[in-house]
C-alpha cells in the first residue's frame, strides 16, 4: 500500500493523529511536508506540482494508492484503522469520533484569537478562553475519560481519540500560545495522566525524537514549570 500524508512542517494535532498510528504500527508512509512555494502552488492550482489533488485546497491530505483523501477526521479514521487504533464496533467508533470532534471544537474556540490583530483584544479573548471556555471543555473531556476505567477514552487501548487530546494538550502546555497558560490543564488530573502516559510510549518518544520538535533530555512528565513541549 502506497501512503503519503501531506501536511505542514509542524507537530500539530490534525496531522499527528494520522502520522502516529502509522508510525506506531510500523507502517511505511511518506511524511511529506511541503515548502512555502509548494504550498502556494497547491493553493492556487488545487494540486501539488506532481499532480496530487488537494481537494479543498487545505491540509492535511492523505494520498493512498494514488487517491487523495481530505479532511482531518476522514484521514485519521483510515490511518487509525490501518494502525489498529480505530474501533470496528460502531458505538466505540462513534465515541472515538466524538472526542476528535471535541478537539476540533476546542481548536475552533482558539482560532478567532489567532486571527485577532489588536494585541489588547487578543489578550482579552485569551483571558476569557483560559477562565471559562477551555476549562469547560476540559471538564467535559475529563468526565468522559473518568467514566472509562482503562485510563483511555474508549475501550482498553490507545486510540486516535487519545492521540488527538494528547497533541492538543501538548500544544497548550508548550506555552507557544501567548496569554494561555499551561496551568489551565493542571486541575484535570486524568487528562494530565493521559498526556504523560502517551509521552512515555516508546514509539511516541521515538517519533518525537526523530522529528524536529523534541529534546532527548526533556522530561516526559507534565510539570508546573517545564511541561513537555511538543
pLDDT grade for 163, boundaries at 50, 70 and 90: very high
Average pLDDT of the residues of the chain: 91
Checking if the pLDDT of 215 tops 70, the result is: no
Checking if the pLDDT of 226 tops 70, the result is: no
pTM of the model as a whole: 0.90
Residue 26: closest CA among 216, 186, 203: 203
pLDDT digits (tens, 9 = 90+) for 34-90: 999 999 999 999 999 999 999 999 999 999 999 999 999 999 999 999 999 999 999
Residue 213 is predicted with a pLDDT of 58
Cis omega (within 30 of 0) on the bond before 60?
yes
Pairing outcome for strands 61-64 and 30-32: unpaired
Q: Give the Cα-Cα-Cα angle 100, 192, 204 (nearest 5 degrees).
A: 65
Residue 25 is predicted with a pLDDT of 98
pLDDT digits (tens, 9 = 90+) for 165-200: 999 999 888 878 888 988 899 999 999 999 999 999
Amino acid at each position: 500500500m502506497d501512503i503519503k500524508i501531506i501536511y505542514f512542517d509542524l507537530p500539530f494535532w490534525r496531522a499527528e493523529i494520522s502520522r502516529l498510528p502509522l508510525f506506531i504500527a510500523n507502517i511505511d508512509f511518506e511524511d511529506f511536508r511541503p515548502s512555502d512555494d509548494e504550498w502556494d502552488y497547491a493553493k492556487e492550482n488545487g494540486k501539488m506540482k506532481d499532480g496530487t489533488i488537494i481537494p479543498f485546497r487545505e491540509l492535511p491530505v492523505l494520498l493512498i494508492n494514488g487517491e487523495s483523501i481530505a479532511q482531518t477526521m476522514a484521514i485519521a479514521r483510515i490511518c487509525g484503522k490501518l494502525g489498529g487504533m480505530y474501533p470496528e464496533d460502531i458505538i466505540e467508533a462513534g465515541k472515538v469520533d466524538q472526542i476528535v470532534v471535541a478537539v476540533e471544537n476546542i481548536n475552533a474556540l482558539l482560532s478567532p484569537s489567532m486571527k485577532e490583530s489588536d494585541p489588547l483584544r487578543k489578550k482579552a479573548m485569551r483571558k476569557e478562553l483560559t477562565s471559562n471556555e477551555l476549562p469547560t471543555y476540559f471538564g467535559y473531556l475529563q468526565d468522559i475519560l473518568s467514566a472509562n476505567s482503562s485510563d483511555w477514552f474508549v475501550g482498553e487501548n490507545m486510540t486516535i481519540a487519545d492521540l488527538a487530546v494528547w497533541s492538543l494538550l501538548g500544544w497548550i502546555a508548550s506555552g507557544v500560545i501567548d496569554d494561555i497558560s499551561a496551568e489551565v490543564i493542571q486541575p484535570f488530573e486524568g487528562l494530565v495522566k493521559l498526556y504523560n502516559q502517551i509521552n512515555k510510549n516508546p514509539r511516541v518518544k521515538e517519533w518525537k525524537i526523530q522529528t524536529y520538535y523534541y529534546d532527548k533530555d526533556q522530561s516526559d512528565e507534565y510539570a508546573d514549570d517545564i511541561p513537555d513541549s511538543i
